[in-house]
Structure formats: C-alpha cells, structure tokens
Amino acid sequence: MSESAKKVKIKHPIDVHSVSINEDPFHHNAYVISLPLDSEPSYVWQAFFEETVWSSLDFWDRKAMVAGKELKLTTTRNDLEDKLKWLERIVDDTNSRVEEHNRKAKWEKKAKEPERADTEAIRQELSKWSVRGY
C-alpha cells in the first residue's frame, strides 16, 4: 500500500542575502543556487520531482536536485528569471502528482477496509469454533 506524502513549496519570500550561490566547478559560467524549501521532502515527493525534471523539455540548459530542505539549481545567468519560473512549475507539477498519489493511497486504504472487516469476522468465527471443542 502506498503511503501519503506532503506537498512541498519553495519558501517565499526568499532572503536573497542568505541564499547560497556558488560557481559550478564542472561547468564554465554556471552557478549552483540553493533555494530554501518550506519542509524536507519525503522520498515520494523527491521521486516525483526527479521524474518531472527529467521529463521536462527545458532540462538541457539547467539541472535541479533536492538536497535536504533545499532545491539546488545549476544554471548559467542567461534567462535566469525564466529558469526560476520553470523551477516553480516543476515544483507545482510535482505537488499535483503528490495530490494524485495521495488520492490513490486513500482509495487503496478504503478498499482494504472491507477486507479487514471480513478477516476480523473470520477470526471471530474461528474463536467460537475453537471453544466448542470439535
């Protein structure tokens, strides 16, 4: 059975002076920008995030990954505002997938309830039968 997951957002407003910005040691003119998240994502959220990033057509000129309570965006300065909007869309799409996942998990849990009730009824019948001493 699937477990439910919590949605995660980029923490706004961002304190621009506390955001870590470092040169990427592997790519010339690229930077790693660490953006704060409002909470640490579950493995479910992270898996959906990675799938969403990798399926994005814009992935070729930027990279994004989760590290604890931060999103790390590796990119050049070119069109940075568009890249930040792209990242926000990725987070929103990830949260939509989490909502769908949670609906499915809730449905699966509800579907198992009658099965549990049947199991308990069988146990009660077995306990009555075992007392009779057949």
Task: Give the DSSP letter string of 8-59.
Answer: --B-SS--TTTSEEEE-SSSTTEEEEEEEBSSPPPHHHHHHHHHHHHH-TTG
Q: Is residue 71 part of a domain?
A: yes
- What is the pLDDT of the chain when averaged over all its residues? 89
- Structural domain for 48, as ranges: 20-132
Instruction: For 21-51, write each residue's pLDDT tens digit.
Output: 999 999 889 999 999 999 999 999 999 999 9
Q: Is residue 64 part of a domain?
A: yes
Domain count, the chain: 1
Q: Is residue 12 part of a domain?
A: no
Q: Is residue 4 part of a domain?
A: no
pTM for this structure?
Answer: 0.79
Q: Is residue 120 part of a domain?
A: yes
